Amino acid sequence: MTSREYLYGLELHGIKLGLDNISRLLEPAGEPQHRYPTIHIAGTNGKGSVAAMVDAMLQAAGYSTGRFTSPHLIELSERFLHNSTPITADELDAGVAFFRPIAQGMAPPPTFFEFVTAIAFRWFGQKDVDVGVIEVGMGGRFDSTNVVLPEVCAITNIDLEHTKYLGDTLEKIAFEKAGIIKPKIPVVVSESNRSPRDVILERARVLNSPVRLAGRDFTYGVSGPPFAQHFRYESATLRLGPTAFGLSGLRDARWPCRLERVLDRPPVIIDVAHNAAGARKLAQELPPCVVILAVSSDKDAAAMAGAFASVARHLILSEFSGRRALPAHDLSSALRGFAHQVISPLSDAIEAGLALANESLPLVITGSIFTAGEARSLLIQSKGAAPLRF
């Protein structure tokens, strides 16, 4: 069995929240997560983008970085970045070879995410990074990344997600995400909804953790069209901008399939918006467009489609490959009242979307990170889209 086959075989163990397994994996490795400072980032949407931007600013300041994010778009190696360069196949195989004997002696065995988290922490130590930028996988309190002792942590926003594991209210989910806050460690919070925000702030108060709260301690904003935006920031001690992203430490920030324009003629935009909140945010940034929507079976498909009602001149429903996809016809059944057409597989939907799109009516492909990854791969192979950059 190859290292990749072994890794993906661990997915059969599903999701298991808790820190026991990751601790048992990392102890024989010398607890590498403590060898370098870390920044820990949680939230429902935007945490991967925050990780990418923090990483870019750190590198612009001359620091060597390790960035761990999930899930990946096309290749597993995307989850592990050293100075924006993915782990090599040999390095990944070496990580599997190191932890596999440890894992085989564990009962219960580690999950896929626990195993790759351990590989990331060890590899960053081997690379002697100055800073590790670590994105939470799910929740926070019992996420396997929560063995770090960060210099600072951040919580982006709270929305309903993974309710089977995190709870069925915003307050319960906020409590889980607030679990990354450590005693006396600063936390940056951008949640504006009062009830989940108060849960986070109370956790920080109990732990005596300094808080920097958006809207109270600082303000920020983005203006301009999606591909020529300016950023501003203001606090009691610092004022920036409005400045073009290209003139700041964010100049080299790359996070594929996040409002990414991958083709120009006609314009094609891919975004990983995978829940109703993400879809609403994406729709705010879009002009009138053709939308291809393919979602996971556990999502509120009607709410996601509704987010695009004001901008989608044509709505094409499709499905990505794999067991987590909501079949296109089931998606159609959930969207009675929305004018749409059903085209599957995704490759055929893309061809139909390209035929409808033009210079003033871009094609937008969204609904899931799996949709984004598959579409990106198809467009690289068949339409000459640029390869992924980080």
Shared-domain flag, residues 203 and 324? no
Shared-domain flag, residues 204 and 291? no
Instruction: Give residue 163's pLDDT band: very low, low, confident or very high (50, 70, 90).
Output: confident
Shared-domain flag, residues 77 and 198? yes
* CATH number of the domain residue 310 falls in: 3.90.190.20
pLDDT per residue as tens digits for the range 178-221 = 999 999 999 999 999 999 999 999 999 999 999 999 999 999 98
234 within some domain: no
232 within some domain: no
Shared-domain flag, residues 144 and 12? yes
108 within some domain: yes
Instruction: Give residue 229's pLDDT band: very low, low, confident or very high (50, 70, 90).
Output: confident
Q: Read off the pTM.
A: 0.90
**CA 337, 343, 344, 350 torsion-angle sign:** negative
pLDDT of amino acid 29: 97
pLDDT of amino acid 246: 62
Residue-wise over 20-34: b if at least 16 C-beta within 10 A, else e? ebbebbbeebeebbe
Shared-domain flag, residues 306 and 371? yes
Shared-domain flag, residues 265 and 358? yes
Instruction: Give residue 14's pLDDT band: very low, low, confident or very high (50, 70, 90).
Output: confident
Residue 109 confidence (pLDDT) above 70: yes
299 within some domain: yes
pLDDT per residue as tens digits for the range 275-289 = 998 999 999 999 999
Shared-domain flag, residues 191 and 280? no
Shared-domain flag, residues 207 and 320? no
Domain count, the chain: 2
Shared-domain flag, residues 148 and 10? yes
Instruction: Give residue 40's pLDDT band: very low, low, confident or very high (50, 70, 90).
Output: very high
Shared-domain flag, residues 265 and 372? yes
Q: Is 215 left (phi over 0), alpha (psi -120 to 50) or beta?
A: left
**Is 55 in a helix, a strand, or coil?**
helix
Shared-domain flag, residues 210 and 287? no
Residue 110 confidence (pLDDT) above 80: yes
Shared-domain flag, residues 210 and 280? no
Report how far residue 261's alpha carbon sits from residue 278's, in angstroms, rounded to the nearest whole number.
Answer: 17
313 within some domain: yes
Average pLDDT, the chain: 93
Instruction: Pick the last residue of a domain from 161, 192, 216.
Output: 216
Beta strands in the chain (DSSP E): 38-42, 65-68, 80-82, 85-86, 131-135, 152-155, 187-189, 211-213, 218-223, 230-235, 239-244, 260-264, 267-270, 289-293, 312-317, 341-342, 363-366
**CA 40, 36, 120, 67 torsion-angle sign:** positive
Instruction: Pick the last residue of a domain from 216, 244, 276.
Output: 216
Q: Which residue would you say has higher pLDDT here, 253 or 2?
A: 2
227 within some domain: no
pLDDT of amino acid 247: 54
Show the domain range for 293.
260-383
Contact criterion met (CB below 8 Å) for 150 and 39: yes
From residue 103, alpha-carbon distances to 77, 98, 305, 345 in Å are 20, 9, 42, 38
315 within some domain: yes
Average pLDDT over residues 247-261: 79
273 within some domain: yes
Instruction: Pick the last residue of a domain from 216, 232, 250.
Output: 216
**What are 128's two structure tokens?**
């002697």
* CATH number of the domain residue 72 falls in: 3.40.1190.10
